[in-house]
Structure 1
C-alpha cells in the first residue's frame, strides 16, 4: 500500500484547515481588530491612548465597572448556593418526576435570557400578578413590588437564569458519585448535613468551580437581562458600550469599553478552561 509523501500530507491538511481559519478571521478576528484599532486610533483624531485615558478617568466607566463586577460576583455566588441545593434534591431526594426535572434543565439552558426576565416582569412587574393580587385585596392604588427595576431585580433575574448552568455539571458529578460511600456514612450514624459536608461537597467542588467560572464569565457580558428589566440606574459595561455607541455616537469610547470587557472576559474564560480541565468537564 502506497503512503502519500510527507509534503503532500501536510499540504492536504493545510487545504482543510485554511477555509475555517479564513472564515473565523473574516467573521470574528477582523471586526475585533477594527474595534481595537478604533480604540487606539479614533476617527476624530488624538493620540493612541487618549481615548483610554478619557474613558478611564470618567466616573461613568468606573461606576459601570464596579456595577458589572458586583453583579457578576453576587449572581455567581447565588447560583452556586441555589444550584448546589437544587442539585442535591434532584440527585439524592427521591420524588416523582426527578428525571423529568433533570432533563428540563438541559432544555432550560437553551432559553434566551430575556425570556426569563419577561416572566419575572409578568409576576413582579409594576402591573404584574403580585402587585395585582395586592391591589385587589387591599384596594391600594399601587402594589409594593418595584424591585425589578433596581440592581436587586437584575441580580434576581441573573440568578434565576444562570443557576441551571451550575446545576448541570453538578448533576453530572453526582451521577458518578459512589453511593456506597453515602450508605457507609449513614450506617455509621452521620447526619445528612455531615454527609453533605464531608462526602458530597469534596466531590462536587470541581464541578462547582467549573460551573461558577462559566456563570461569572456570562454574567460579565450579560446585556439582555439588564435591558429588559428596565433598571435605568443599573449600567454595566455592555450597557455602557451600547450607550456610548448608539445613544452618544462616541465610537472611540465604546470601543475602549468593549476592549476592556473583552480582556476581562478572555482572562476569566482562560480560568474557566483551566478549572474545567481539572474538573474533567
Structure 2
C-alpha cells in the first residue's frame, strides 16, 4: 500500500515541478528583468555556477527605480492610458448593449428567441482577429459597406476601421456573448416574484425591470462588466490587426518591444502592468459577487412567468436582431471574400474563384495539420494533468494546486508567451523556437478550462466508490485511474473540446512563439492579414470557424449521449 500511495505522491510532485518550471519560474523571471533591466536565466542559475553569479550580481543592482523609469516612459504611459480607455468603452457599450437582450431571453416570450440565442452565440466561435479582418472587408476603403454608403450619397468611409473606433467595434460585437450569458443567468436567478408583485401593483412597461429585476441582478451585471473589461484590456487579435501605427495599446506595444526590438526589460514591464490590471479587475469581480449579493426571502419558489407584452417582446426581438446583424454580416463577408478573385468598392465580387481554397488545401494544408497536432498535444497535457489536479483539489483539498491553476486565468497570453521565451532562450533547457514549448504554453493557458469542466463531475462522485475499490484490494492509484477517472468522462469530454477549440483559435502565444515549421492556422491568418492577403486570410478563417463549429457540435452530441440522465 505504501508503494501505491507513493505513486500518487510522485504524480503530485511531477505536477508541481511542471508548474514550477513552466509557469512560476518564467513569471518570476519577468519580475527580475523588470527590476534589473537585463535578461535573467533563473532556471540556468540552478545548474550553472557562472550564471548564478551573474544573476546574483544583477539582482544586487535591482531596484524599483528601474521599473518606474521604464514604466513612466511617454510611449508606455500612452499605451496604458489608451488601453484603459479602450477597455472602458468596450465594457460600457457591451454591458448596455447586452442587457436588453439578456432580459429578453431570460424573462420575456420574445419571438424567435431560439434563433436569436444561436446567433448571439456565433461570435464566441469567431476569433477577434477574424472579426477584425471582416470589418476591413466591410468598412475598409474598398469595402462593400463603404461602397453602399457612397452610393447613398456619402463621402469617403463610414468610419476609419483602422482606429480606436474600429477596435472598439470589433471587440464589442465579438466579445459581447461573454457579457450576455452571465447576465442571462443573473436575470434568471433573480427572484421573479418581486417583478410579478410590481406588475400586480400596476407597474407597466419597463418600470418593473428598473425597480425590481435590475437591482436583484445588479451583482451579475457588474461582474460581467468587470470581466469584459479584463478581456478587452488584454485582447490581442483585434488590436494587432486594426491598431494604426500612431495608436499605442499596451498589448501591441509589448509585442513590438519583444518581436521588433528584443527589449526584454520594456516588454517585461508592460506585461507585468497588464497582469496587474487584469488581476485587479478579476479581484473586483469576485468581490462584487461575494460581497454584493441581493436576495429575497420567500416561503416558496416562484414560477417564472414570462412577460408577454407584445410591444415589449417585439421591440426586444427587433433590437436583438439588429445587434446580431453586424457579426453575422461580418462572417458572411469573410465567407464571400474567400470565394472572390476581385472584390473592390462594390456590393458583390467582380470575379469568383476557388483558388484560395486550392491554396489552403494544397501548400497551406500544413497549417491545418499543424493546428490539429499542436491542439492534440496541448489537449493530452491538459487531460493527464487536469484529471489528477481535479482529484487532488477535490479529494485531498490541495488549495496550493487550486491557486496555482488559477494563475493562467489572470496572466494574459502575451505575458505568458514573453515569460516562456525569456526563460528558455538559453541553457540548460533551450526550448524557445520549439513546438514543444508552444504546446506547453497552450496547455498552461487552457488548463483552467479543463479543471472547471471536470470539477462538477468530481464533486458528484461519492467517496464510497473509491473506498469500495480499495476494499476489494485495489491500490489508491489503481482505484483513482480505473474507477474515478472513467466516471469523469462527461466532464473530460466537455473540457477536451473546450481546450482544443480555444487552442486552435489562440492568437497571442501563437504569434509570439510559433516556429516556422509549426505555424498553425491562426498564425497564417495573422500573417496573411498583415501582408494584405485578405483572400487567403478569409479562406483560412472560414476553415477555422468550420472546424470550431463542428467540434462544438460533436461535443454537444457526445456530452448529451453520455449524460447520466439520458
TM-score (norm 1): 0.84
Counterpart position of 1:132: 147
Residue 226 of structure 1 contacts residue 234 of structure 1 at CA under 8 Å; is this kept in 2?
no
Shift of 1:104: 4.6
Correspondence 1:155 to 2:168: yes
Correspondence 1:119 to 2:134: yes
Whole-Å separation in 2 of the counterparts to 1:88 and 1:28 = 41
- RMSD of Structure 2 on Structure 1 (CA): 2.8
Residue in structure 2 matching 1:181, options 194, 202, 219: 194
Counterpart position of 1:68: 83
Whole-Å separation in 2 of the counterparts to 1:199 and 1:57 = 46
Whole-Å separation in 1 of the counterparts to 2:289 and 2:93 = 20
Correspondence 1:205 to 2:200: no
* Structure 2 residue matching 1:109: 3-state secondary structure: helix
Correspondence 1:251 to 2:273: no
Instruction: Label 1:273 to 1:27 Cα distance change in 2 as closer, same or farther (>3 A).
Output: farther
Counterpart position of 2:32: 37
Structural mapping, 1:97-116, within 5 Å: 97-106=112-121, 108-116=123-131
Q: Deviations for 1:115-150, whole angstroms, at most 9, x for unmatched residues?
A: 222222222222212211133455x8x633232222
Return 5+ residue gaps in structure 1 as ranges.
none
Counterpart position of 2:245: 232
* Structure 2 residue matching 1:148: 3-state secondary structure: coil
Shift of 1:12: 6.3
Q: Deviations for 1:145-190, whole angstroms, at most 9, x for unmatched residues?
A: 2322221222222222222111111111222344443333223221
Return 5+ residue gaps in structure 2 as ranges.
40-57, 295-566
Whole-Å separation in 1 of the counterparts to 2:256 and 2:151 = 39
Instruction: Label 1:150 to 1:261 Cα distance change in 2 as closer, same or farther (>3 A).
Output: same
Whole-Å separation in 2 of the counterparts to 1:92 and 1:120 = 33
Task: Choose 67-76 or 109-118, whichever is displaced more.
Answer: 109-118
Whole-Å separation in 2 of the counterparts to 1:159 and 1:266 = 21
Q: Relative contact order (alpha carbons < 8 A, sep ≥ 6): 1 or 2 greater?
A: 1
Instruction: Label 1:69 to 1:93 Cα distance change in 2 as closer, same or farther (>3 A).
Output: same
Whole-Å separation in 2 of the counterparts to 1:198 and 1:137 = 43
Correspondence 1:164 to 2:159: no
Q: Deviations for 1:57-104, whole angstroms, at most 9, x for unmatched residues?
A: 311111111111111112111111111122123333423431343345
Instruction: Label 1:125 to 1:271 Cα distance change in 2 as closer, same or farther (>3 A).
Output: same
Whole-Å separation in 1 of the counterparts to 2:99 and 2:183 = 7
Instruction: Label 1:137 to 1:275 Cα distance change in 2 as closer, same or farther (>3 A).
Output: closer
Whole-Å separation in 2 of the counterparts to 1:15 and 1:100 = 50
Residue in structure 2 matching 1:48, options 62, 66, 78: 62
